[in-house]
Structure 1
Amino acid sequence: MARVSTVIENHVAHVTLTRGDKMNALDVEMVDSIIAAGEALIDNDDVRAVVVSGEGAAFCAGLDVMNFAKFANQDPEGLVMPRTHGNGNSFQEVSLVWRRVPVPVIFALHGVCYGGGMQIASGGDIRIAHPDTKLAIMEMKWGLVPDMGGMITFPHLMRADHLRRLTYTADQVLAPQAMEMGLVTELSDDPLQAAQDLAAKIALKSPSAIRAAKRLLEFSETSDDEAAILLKESREQTDLIGKPHQMEVIAANMQKRDPVFK
């Protein structure tokens, strides 16, 4: 059974976790499917924004507990330690792949977003949640630590003491509190529609400028070299000024119309 579906309409990729009967809990097949969905968008020049959501009652309940027995019977060294995706393994790539997608990735959260699901969502650019959504860095409940890329993504979203508290306790928080902590960007009674509306808005912006902005933001978040960041700013700007997309934006603004990009 398919674990993930992707539909592309009007330059927006709609990626849906489709294991709703299991609250989109993560098994190995679903991890692989999520990675494949993200990788398929990396070189798709038609896509200008991505919305990721989950079908059914929840975005993602985290790791499928039925997998614990399977994992317990495997050598953890061989399961976790091999670097299969650059610096990480497949469990880490499931969240980090969304950072490598060159356009904004918006997660729509509802129901619960626990453990691995929270780490996947942390790999996106923006998270819109229903106010009743429950979120948790759940791994400590099972005597584990976050190991799905969260230690790359969470520190950019949260104050250190909030991150430590949620990691140490596995406490659940509702979306309004999670927003105060930085895990959630904004609240909506219809997070999927809000995410789709935002993606449609982004899709009207200059595709080259949006991609440049994401590259620049990613670079600035992962570098502490001030000179390199300033040079990156100038390089990205130089590559945009006077090019067709920028000229179309100027013309559309002057003519008070939506831009049309080729």
Structure 2
Amino acid sequence: MTDRVTVTVDDGVADVRLNRPDKLNALDLAAFEALAETGGRLAADPSVRVVVLSGEGRAFCAGLDFASFETMARDASGDAGADPDTRLPSDITERLPGRITNLGQQAVHAWREMPQPVIAAVSGHALGGGLQIALGADIRIVAPDAKLSVLEIRWGIIPDMTGTAALVRLVGEDVAKELVFTGRMVAGEEAVRIGLATRTADDPRAAATELARDIAGRNPHAIRHAKALINRASDAGADLAGQFLAESRALGELRGSPNQAEAVRSYFEKRPAVFTDPS
């Protein structure tokens, strides 16, 4: 694991922080690996009863690192000469051994599938993949002025880190489509109103830690059973393995395509995009 994620454990509460504040905790390959590894390790630790997930500095997570988008636009298979941390796997439909996810999806799904409750504390921005990480938590406490967005459409792609399943589950089909189609920013209060967040707090990390300590003081077996049962009821009838693979296949078709490259170029060149209509 790298220093992309820090972990401290105190009285059964694991304080997990994305740790790239100079980049607004933007995601690169090292961050995906660190998140997936951390989630798996904490899930197997019986002394951890609750997890608080947040970001160091001014943002929860600003989404995928710009360098990764630039690499994606240049070449769907990645640029062999680029920084290894900015390159993405060339075959995102390949599943991790024994899992229904690829690495990016596991960086999110690790928090939903772990037996302990996970509380995301969101301040500043939670954009694109950053928002999807927050959606992997069981509870989201957000600052009133936090900015959340399913921002992938800006880059000509779709949410591919388990976000399509999470959005429908949390906000419903129509709101999910509006958020995905537009990529519009949602502030904290609206996020609570539409179901994207649980509640607001002026200091989300302090509020999340207080709630975590409350939960950590209760029967951990009951808490774990409760999470598993509620997840099962929420996912009843859902083919998550198929959904996650479909996300990856869709992104695989989009990544590096002419229209996706145009979405990225037009953003950085600050001009209207000129897209080719589907044939």
TM-score (norm 2): 0.78
Following the alignment from structure 1 to structure 2, what is the Cα–Cα distance between the partners of residues 154 and 43?
A: 27
Alignment match, 2:234: 221
- Quote the sequence identity (%): 40
Alignment match, 1:169: 182
- Deviation track 1:16-41 (CA, whole Å, cap 9, x = no partner) reads 11100000000111111111111111
Alignment match, 1:60: 61
Alignment match, 1:9: 10
Q: Does 1:39 align with 2:40?
A: yes
Q: Which amino acid aligns with 2:77?
A: D
Following the alignment from structure 1 to structure 2, what is the Cα–Cα distance between the partners of residues 64 and 121?
A: 17
Alpha-carbon shift at residue 74 of structure 1 (Å): 4.1
* Residue 75 (structure 1) aligned to one of 71, 74, 77: 77
Gaps of 5+ in 1: 226-262
Gaps of 5+ in 2: 79-88, 239-279
Alignment match, 2:173: 160
Alignment match, 1:84: 96
- Deviation track 1:165-202 (CA, whole Å, cap 9, x = no partner) reads 11000101111111111111000000000000000000
Following the alignment from structure 2 to structure 1, what is the Cα–Cα distance between the partners of residues 112 and 197?
A: 17
Alpha-carbon shift at residue 11 of structure 1 (Å): 0.4
Following the alignment from structure 1 to structure 2, what is the Cα–Cα distance between the partners of residues 212 and 221?
A: 14
TM-score (norm 1): 0.83
Alignment match, 1:128: 141
Q: Which amino acid aligns with 1:58?
A: A
Q: Which amino acid aligns with 2:90?
A: G
Q: Which amino acid aligns with 2:75?
A: N
Task: State the aligned residue count.
Answer: 225
RMSD over aligned Cα, in angstroms?
1.5
Q: Which amino acid aligns with 2:58?
A: A
Write the mapping of 1:67-216 to structure 2, written as runs, cut at 5 A.
67-71=68-72, 72-75=74-77, 78-84=90-96, 86-216=99-229
| Higher relative contact order, chain-length normalized (CA < 8 Å, sep 6+) | 2
